Amino acid sequence: MVENLGIAFQLFATMDNVIMLFIGVVVGCTVGAIPGMTATMGVALTLPFTFYLPPVTGILLLIGVYKGGIYGGSIPAILIKTPGTPAAACTVLDGFPLAQKGHANKALHMALYSSCFADFVSNIALIFFAGFIASFALRFGPPEFFALILFSLTIIAGVAGDNLARGLISACFGLLLATIGLDLIYGTERMIFGEPELMGGIKFIPVLIGLFALPEIIDHYTRKLETHKRFAGLGDEGVTMAEWKRCFKSVVRGSFIGVIMGAIPGIGGAPSAFLSYSEAKRTSKVSENFGKGELEGIAAAESGNNGVCGATMIPLLALGVPGDVITAVILGAFMIHGLQPGPILFEQNITIVYAIFMGIMLSSIYLLVVGKVGIKLFAQVSDVPNSFLYPIVLVLCVFGAYAVGNTMFDLIVMFVMGLVGYFMLKFKIPAAPFLIAFILGPLLEDSFRQSLQLSRGSFDIFVRNPMCWVFLAMTVISIAMVIRRNIKLKKDKELKAMLLE
Amino acid sequence: MFFARFSDVILGAVLSAGTLFMLFVIVPISVQVPKSNKVLALSPDFWIKIILWFMLLLGVQLLYQGLKTAKELLADEEIAAIEDAKTHHHPMGRSVFMVMVAITNLFVYFFLIDWLGMVIASIISVITFALLCGERRIKIILPIAVILPIGLYYFFLKVAHIPMPLGIFE
């Protein structure tokens, strides 16, 4: 253990890692601060720049972008009432009224401190729980993995939005696309149509960039030119110690809510922020001020959404299962660097895991420093008009997609996926289930077929082991809960229509 | 309004028809199943067929739901979403035209890369896209259009050791 920690420290403590992580946090904060750019887009566009880097450095760069992006989303939420990321939607409730009162600086500082604290708590949770879960998962064979990944696919219900059917359609497209290539058992062709570039399957990065960046660019053309929102000014006041102490209880509560909700695949930052906010409002002595510019509201929302960051990495690192769409992208990054997150990673590359943990801890400190020093600068970034931004994003997409395999074919894939993504956007089909299914699809199929090979075609293998039963039961419960939620939503809608009549 | 009312029907119909076409035409042609395979579930087309049948089910369900609800009044949220779209987007005809322009631009960009190389094609595309986005401050567009592609080209060439295509300048 100590020897491994020593090796991990050597692996981590290089100038490249320290600088790249810093760059990642800066890029993330910048991307998050720009309305219209999400943390997912930021991670997706940074991914091609990690190809030439060693695995630890590349992954730390992406983690920096992720963490910076989630915090950065609070800046435009507070200043111009436009959350930079969906997770920052709750911060608008009190952040913007406070900025209107001339206390934007105070609001931004509270968002920063709460985000950093929650991020730190989340990282500690990651370090403590990931190893424990991974050691347990080491006993898993192909049938257990099949059951686990099947359960993980139910996270699609969480990222599907209001319409489950459309989310499932999206996931089916992802699963179908992932089957293209040579069959792993027989080596026969599957939907290749004689194209040699397709033999190894469709590459992840062109699909990712095409789905998450290009549709926004195409859609921008259909938008009217809008007067750009500008913020009034930051003000001079920061957060006093008394104010921090008053909000501390909500920050701690929000951090733990974030950790718990982040560790459950499919929930994400936004619900966690809203739950933390509503709990803070319910228990606060000044609950009547919530929604009118209450500092405690910002603290609760930001700690709730940043508390998720480290925790979403628990299922990713321990089981190889992404907790949300950004961790799905990071999972893709691990694979690109020849690493497969999950128990095997802990067994074979424990030094890399420890080095990543060290970097993750440093990222919390960087977030505090970068946020503190750069608040004024990031506030200016939220003023960048999209007419400049989208052409820049397009060029980054093209360079990034080409760099994957030095081939024009990847550009074609990216453009085609961009069109598919645009039509999905218009038909309100969410893109996140597509990506998660595209990544998990091959793992699901492989474990399914490996299990059947082991059992010589008998399906009994999936119910022989108690662990399979547990995961299958969780899958059934998860599906039942989703169906129940949808029926309830439908009934509520009908009731509302009846009342209106 | 038409699109909002019939989007489920359109999507359900297209999905069902597309899935049937895949199941009975594309998969039999393009997925090779070895004769030696004796276990159905291990066949290379088993997984694909499962996904497609599930998609067909979803398509039919969406079509049925769409036909059922098409005559109903739109919910408040749907009307609000349509109004919001009207406020922020061009009218339907212009929107479709602009999407066609954007798609054409993307493909022109692609062919320009092949012909003029990544850097020149990117410079032209940044300027074109920014102008089409309504940006008229050429003094800001021009430096961005030149510096960004050149910077990225040298980053990938010198740092990442990934050569980018230079087209006729190769």
Full DSSP string of A480-493: HHHHHHHHHHHHHH
Digit-coded pLDDT (tens) for A163-219:
778 888 999 999 999 999 998 888 889 999 888 889 988 988 889 889 888 888 888
Considering only residues A314 and A82, tell me which one the structure prediction assigns the higher pLDDT. Answer: A314
Query: Does the distance separating the beta carbons of B165 and A179 come in below 8 Å?
Result: no
Query: Does the distance separating the beta carbons of B99 and A165 come in below 8 Å?
Result: no
Q: Domain tally for chain B? A: 2
Q: How far apart are CA B52 and CA B22, in angstroms?
A: 8
pLDDT of residue A232: 60
Q: Is the pLDDT assigned to residue A90 strictly greater than 70?
A: yes
Query: Does the distance separating the beta carbons of A399 and B118 come in below 8 Å?
Result: yes
Tell me: do B98 and B77 sit in the same domain: no
Determine contact: A146 vs chain B, CB below 8 A. Answer: no
Nearest residue in chain A measured CA to CA from B95: A222
Q: Is the pLDDT assigned to residue B61 strictly greater than 80?
A: yes
pLDDT of residue A422: 93
Q: How far apart are CA B112 and CA B149, in angstroms?
A: 14
To test the contact with chain B by mutation, choose from A52, A225, A395 the residue with the greatest count of B C-beta atoms within 10 A, namely A395
Tell me: do B72 and B37 sit in the same domain: yes
DSSP state of B155: I
- Taking contacts as CB-CB distances below 8 angstroms, the residues of chain A near B162 are 51-52, 403, 406
Across the interface, of A394, A396, A457, the residue whose CB is closest to B41 is A457
pLDDT of residue A252: 94
- Taking contacts as CB-CB distances below 8 angstroms, the residues of chain B near A427 are 7, 10-11
- Kindly report the number of other CB atoms within 10 A of residue A480's CB atom: 10
Among B52, B86, B120, give the residue marking a domain's end.
Answer: B86
- Taking contacts as CB-CB distances below 8 angstroms, the residues of chain A near B165 are 402, 408
DSSP state of A47: G
Query: Does the distance separating the beta carbons of B52 and A387 come in below 8 Å?
Result: no
Lowest-confidence region among A84-88, A426-430, B100-104: A84-88
- Are the C-beta atoms of residues A444 and A150 closer than 8 Å to each other? yes
- Taking contacts as CB-CB distances below 8 angstroms, the residues of chain B near A406 are 162-163
Among B86, B116, B139, give the residue marking a domain's end.
Answer: B86
- Taking contacts as CB-CB distances below 8 angstroms, the residues of chain B near A189 are 30-32
Report the pLDDT averaged over residues A214-231.
Answer: 74
Nearest residue in chain A measured CA to CA from B48: A176
Q: What is the mean pLDDT of chain A?
A: 85
Tell me: do B70 and B109 sit in the same domain: no
Tell me: do B39 and B18 sit in the same domain: yes
Where do we find the tokens 């479709």?
B96
Q: Is the pLDDT assigned to residue A149 strictly greater than 90?
A: no
Q: Is the pLDDT assigned to residue A229 strictly greater than 60?
A: no
Residue-by-residue DSSP string for A429-449: --SHHHHHHHHHHHHHHHHHH
pLDDT of residue B170: 74
Tell me: do B81 and B97 sit in the same domain: no
Closest approach of A31 to chain B, Cα-based (Å)? 17
pTM above 0.90, yes or no: no
Reported ipTM:
0.89
Residue-by-residue DSSP string for A54-92: -HHHHHHHHHHHHHHHHHHTHHHHHHHS--SSGGGHHHH
pLDDT bucket at A501, cuts 50 / 70 / 90: low
Q: Is the pLDDT assigned to residue B129 strictly greater than 80?
A: yes
The amino acid that residue B94 corresponds to is: R
- Are the C-beta atoms of residues A358 and B96 closer than 8 Å to each other? no
Residue among A42, A477, A455, A165 at smallest CA distance from B61 = A165
Q: Is the pLDDT assigned to residue A221 strictly greater than 90?
A: no
- Are the C-beta atoms of residues B91 and B141 closer than 8 Å to each other? no
Q: Is the pLDDT assigned to residue A380 strictly greater than 80?
A: no
CA separation, residue A262 to residues A215, A265, A320, A440, A478 (Å): 27, 7, 15, 19, 16
pLDDT of residue A204: 85
- Are the C-beta atoms of residues A452 and A249 closer than 8 Å to each other? no
DSSP-derived 3-state class of residue A223 = strand
C-alpha R_g of chain B: 24
Considering only residues A173 and A222, tell me which one the structure prediction assigns the higher pLDDT. Answer: A173
pLDDT of residue A125: 92
pLDDT of residue A428: 86
- Percent pLDDT > 70 in chain A is 94
pLDDT bucket at A71, cuts 50 / 70 / 90: confident
- Percent pLDDT > 70 in chain B is 87
pLDDT bucket at A231, cuts 50 / 70 / 90: low
Among B56, B86, B116, give the residue marking a domain's end.
Answer: B86
CA separation, residue A215 to residues A413, A426, A456, B14, B15 (Å): 14, 9, 45, 20, 20
Lowest-confidence region among A432-441, A469-478, B78-87: B78-87
Considering only residues B80 and A88, tell me which one the structure prediction assigns the higher pLDDT. Answer: A88
pLDDT of residue A366: 93
Report the pLDDT averaged over residues A40-63.
Answer: 89
Tell me: do B99 and B125 sit in the same domain: yes
Tell me: do B76 and B116 sit in the same domain: no
Q: Is the pLDDT assigned to residue A159 strictly greater than 80?
A: no
- Taking contacts as CB-CB distances below 8 angstroms, the residues of chain B near A445 are 47
pLDDT of residue A458: 86
Domain assignment of residue B148, given as a range: 92-169
Query: Does the distance separating the beta carbons of A391 and B156 come in below 8 Å?
Result: no
Q: Which residues make beta-bridge pairs with A223?
A: B89
pLDDT of residue A411: 93
Determine contact: A179 vs chain B, CB below 8 A. Answer: yes
pLDDT of residue B79: 66
Closest approach of B80 to chain A, Cα-based (Å)? 15
- In terms of residues, how long is chain B? 170
pLDDT bucket at A398, cuts 50 / 70 / 90: very high
Report the pLDDT averaged over residues A92-96.
Answer: 86
Across the interface, of A222, A396, A448, the residue whose CB is closest to B90 is A222
Report the pLDDT averaged over residues B149-163.
Answer: 88
Where do we find the tokens 């080596």?
A187
Residue A215 tokens read as 């549709």
Determine contact: A338 vs chain B, CB below 8 A. Answer: no
Tell me: do B136 and B70 sit in the same domain: no
pLDDT of residue B48: 94
Measured in whole angstroms, how far is the alpha carbon of residue A326 from the centre of its chain? 3
Considering only residues A324 and A252, tell me which one the structure prediction assigns the higher pLDDT. Answer: A252
pLDDT of residue A145: 87
Tell me: do B76 and B38 sit in the same domain: yes
pLDDT of residue A376: 80
Tell me: do B78 and B105 sit in the same domain: no
Closest approach of A492 to chain B, Cα-based (Å)? 12
Nearest residue in chain B measured CA to CA from A396: B152
Tell me: do B97 and B155 sit in the same domain: yes
- Are the C-beta atoms of residues A356 and A57 closer than 8 Å to each other? no
Show which of residues 25-54 on chain A sit within 8 Å of chain B, judged by CB atoms.
49, 51-52
- Taking contacts as CB-CB distances below 8 angstroms, the residues of chain B near A386 are 133
The amino acid that residue A446 corresponds to is: D
Query: Does the distance separating the beta carbons of A183 and B44 come in below 8 Å?
Result: yes
- Percent pLDDT > 90 in chain A is 24
Closest approach of A162 to chain B, Cα-based (Å)? 12
Q: Is the pLDDT assigned to residue A484 strictly greater than 90?
A: no
Q: How far apart are CA A418 and CA A216, in angstroms?
A: 9
Tell me: do B27 and B79 sit in the same domain: yes
Closest approach of A325 to chain B, Cα-based (Å)? 21
